[in-house]
Amino acid sequence: MSELRGVGIGLGVAQGPVVRMAEAMPAPENTPSTAGAETERARVREAVATVARELNERGEAAGGAAQEVLEAQAMIAEDPTLQDEVDTRIDAGATAEWAVHDAFAGFRATLEAVGGYLGERAADLDDIAQRVLAQLRGVDAPGVPNPGHPFVLVARDLAPADTALLDLEQVLALVTTDGGPTSHTAILAREKGIVAIVGVGVGAQLVTGETVIVDAASGVVTREPTEDEKARAAQRAAARQSAEAAPPTPGALADGTPVALLANLGKPADAADAVVRGAEGVGLFRTEFLFLSSAQAPTIAQQRESYRELLAAFPGKKVVVRMLDAGADKPLAFLNDAHEENPALGLRGLRALRASEDILREQLTALAEADAETDADLWVMAPMVATVEETIYFTGLAREYGLRTAGVMVEIPASALLADRVLAHADFASIGTNDLTQYTMAADRMLGSVAGFQDPWHPAVLRLVREVGDAGARLDKPVGICGEAAADPLLAVVLVGLGATSLSMAPSALADVRHALSERTLSEARSLAEAALAADDASAARTAVATLAAELPLHKKETTS
């Protein structure tokens, strides 16, 4: 038996046979064909027909939007213009492999030059070309394999297109060698509730066919597990499933301290699922998600309708709506379409709203009207607030519209460090750990090359959270967390230890976080927070907390073991 370690996503556990995802293939060499044009052409025809058939079959099995995507890919594979391009190269003496590689690359460049919708299809061509090449070479196609039985998927990392098509009936668990806790794969795994461990550096050792246990709670992949280990893992998985199926209870620590568990939502249609999963309200409604593709500012009537639908889903419950957050990763053409060298440091969030105050006023009007028609407890907040002056500006404006509870997002170190002054004017603070980490570590959250810095476990980030937590406690003002950090069950306990009074997350994370909180008292959460604060870096903080947590007694009957 041996163990491989990485970062677990959630608290799930699963076991099954490994199937490795094939890596992208190297480009073929341009050596002249020895087989002759006729043979090469026949090889391509057969390979293309097989790939198109497989894509159609996979589409039929997947159904819905995935079917449309895959059928479109099959059509591209068999496109006659593309076929002519391949033939031209073969007639000039190329091998089937080179002709496919070169013709698809040329077609890709043409699509990219056209731009728009066709430009967006350019990446699909790479995938199809790789499939045809794999067929020609007689090797497994890259991308998510389909072995015909449930399996543990082991990959370097997953492309968004791969993750979107993951068949949750077949993929028992996911292990990646690359990627961190805020990588795209991790976020998606969390959202879909897939048992996952990311960043298992030595995961390349795992071979197709071997049985492993993937324990996200401890971040451990166990190779060659004993029968006893397999039985215990199966028991835990079953217990967790029944815990998830049980009616959810309000979030609370083991000593009864309440910690409201709220949902992060991007559209009203997702409210029903959040309610079923026991969300006690909404901690972050990202209003900009409603209008990302709009060229013009939404009208008051359009907005009122969306907000009314959202609020109506939470009668008597708290619903925190964030004002339009434009800029950098969330471009809104109607709020800021200027080119900026550093958009993350530019006219974004509240700054952009202030520059178009009419849009901010219209949003507040729509919210006040929706509030008047519904029974939810509406709280409003401004994104990316940096100063006390901005806090006074926004809360003053919100109150002008009769909105009772107005707060700010703490996502910039400046507002965390001055949290006591900020909270003297705001009714509450909500910490956006995604941006707070980005700005504390000076690491663009969109940039893969610095993803290692984008870790909310970093003690520097946690010290800023403590500043806000302490200020909230002194002034008796609520302090919520609404970044990805709140969805990490172990970190969620630490955040409560640092003074968070509510946690908001993707609804799929609620069950695991609820369970993690129920195992710790407030004084234990504070000790765990101290252990994290005393570490030198993010990974040391995570290890210190996991080690201390393993030594603490469990207060509630464990539902996952």
* Position 539, amino acid: S
- Residue 286 contacts ligand PEP per CB under 6 A: yes
User: Which residues ranging from 515 to 534 are in contact with ligand PEP (CB under 6 A)?
Assistant: none
Are 368 and 361 in contact by the 8 Å Cβ rule? The answer is no
**Residue 58 binding: pick among Mg ion, ligand PEP, none (C-beta 5-8 Å cut-off by kind):** none
> Across the beta sheet with 220-223, what order do the strands follow?
2-5, 220-223, 211-215, 13-20, 151-155, 171-176, 195-198, 7-9
Distance separating alpha carbons of residues 48 and 131, to the nearest angstrom: 9
434 binds ligand PEP (CB under 6 A): yes
Listed ranges 175-183, 364-372, 418-426, 430-438: which one lies at the site for ligand PEP (CB under 6 A): 430-438
CB nearer to ligand PEP: give 325 or 524. Answer: 325
What is the smallest separation between the CB atom of 461 and Mg ion, expressed in angstroms?
13
CB closer to ligand PEP out of 483 and 507: 483
Binding Mg ion (rule: CB under 5 A), the pick from 145, 283, 343, 432 is 432
**Of 411 and 455, which has the nearer Cβ to ligand PEP?**
411
- Give SS3 for 559: coil
Measure the CA–CA gap between 79 and 107, rounded to whole angstroms: 11
Q: Which stretch binds Mg ion (CB under 5 A): 198-206, 357-365, 410-418, 447-455?
A: 410-418
Please, what is the minimum distance in Å from the beta carbon of residue 306 to ligand PEP? 17
Question: What's the min distance (Å) between Cβ of 304 and ligand PEP?
Answer: 22
**Of 101, 425, 458, 482, which one is the catalytic site residue?**
482
What are the tokens at 468?
A: 């806000």
> Does the footprint of ligand PEP cover residue 411 (CB under 6 A)?
yes
State the minimum distance, in angstroms, from the CB of residue 325 to ligand PEP: 6
Q: Is 83 in the site for ligand PEP (CB under 6 A)?
A: no
Q: Angle at which helices 510-518 and 489-497 pack, to 10 degrees?
A: 50
Q: How many helices (H) and strands (E) does the chain have?
A: 22, 16
| Percentages (nearest 5) of helix, strand, coil residues in the chain | 50, 15, 35
Stretch that binds ligand PEP, among 72-80, 237-245, 428-436, 526-534 (CB under 6 A): 428-436
* CB-neighbour burial class of residue 123 (10 A; exposed 0-12, middle 13-18, buried 19+): middle
Out of 435, 455, 484, 512, name the contact with Mg ion by CB under 5 A: 435
Burial letters for 457-494: b for 16+ Cβ neighbours within 10 Å, e otherwise? Answer: bbbebbbbbbbbbebbeeeebbbbbbbbbbbbbbbbbb
Closer residue to ligand PEP in complex, CB, 132/419? 419
Q: How far is the CB of 191 from ligand PEP (least distance, A)?
A: 13
**484 touching Mg ion, by CB under 5 A:** no
Site for ligand PEP in 319-378 (CB under 6 A): 325
The first and second tokens of residue 70, run together, are 């895959």
Instruction: Give me the helix-helix angle, 522-533 and 538-551, nearest 10°.
Output: 150
Residue 542 sits at φ, ψ, to 5 deg, of -60, -45
Judged by CB, which is closer to ligand PEP: 333, or 546? 333
- Does position 183 bind ligand PEP by CB under 6 A? no
Pair 20, 38: CB distance under 8 Å: no
Radius of gyration of the chain (CA): 26
Residue 248 vs 483, nearer CB to ligand PEP: 483
Binding footprint of ligand PEP, residue count (CB under 6 A): 10
Work out what residue 482 binds among ligand PEP, Mg ion, none; the CB cut-off runs from 5 to 8 Å by kind. Answer: ligand PEP
Q: How far apart are CA 286 and CA 244, in angstroms?
A: 26
Q: Under a CB-based contact definition with an 8 Å cutoff, are residues 451 and 180 in contact? A: yes
User: Is 40 or 325 the residue whose CB approaches ligand PEP more closely?
Assistant: 325
Query: Least distance in Å: CB of 446 to ligand PEP?
Result: 11
Biggest CA–CA distance in the chain, Å, is: 82
Which one of the spans 161-169, 231-239, 252-260, 433-441 is the region binding ligand PEP (CB under 6 A)?
Answer: 433-441
- Clarify whether 184 is annotated catalytic: yes
Min. distance of Cβ 419 from Mg ion in angstroms? 17
Task: Choose among ligand PEP, Mg ion, none what residue 286 binds, the Cβ cut-off being 5 to 8 Å by kind.
Answer: ligand PEP
Residue in 9, 220, 297, 482 binding ligand PEP, rule: CB under 6 A? 482
Nearest to 457 by CA among 378, 396, 540: 540
Backbone angles phi, psi at 110, to 5 degrees: -65, -45
Number of residues interacting with Mg ion: please give it, by CB under 5 A.
Answer: 3
Q: Are β-strands 13-20 and 7-9 bridged in parallel, bridged antiparallel, or unpaired?
A: unpaired
Told to check if 435 binds ligand PEP by CB under 6 A, we report yes
Q: How far apart are CA 208 and CA 17, in angstroms?
A: 7
Give me 10's structure tokens: 């959630």
107 versus 291: smaller Cβ distance to ligand PEP:
291
Nearer to Mg ion, 176 or 430 (CB): 430
Rounded CA separation 153/175 (Å): 6
Binding positions for Mg ion, rule: CB under 5 A: 411, 432, 435
**Catalytically active residues, by annotation:** 184, 482
Chain residues that interact with ligand PEP, rule: CB under 6 A: 284, 286, 325, 411, 432-435, 482-483
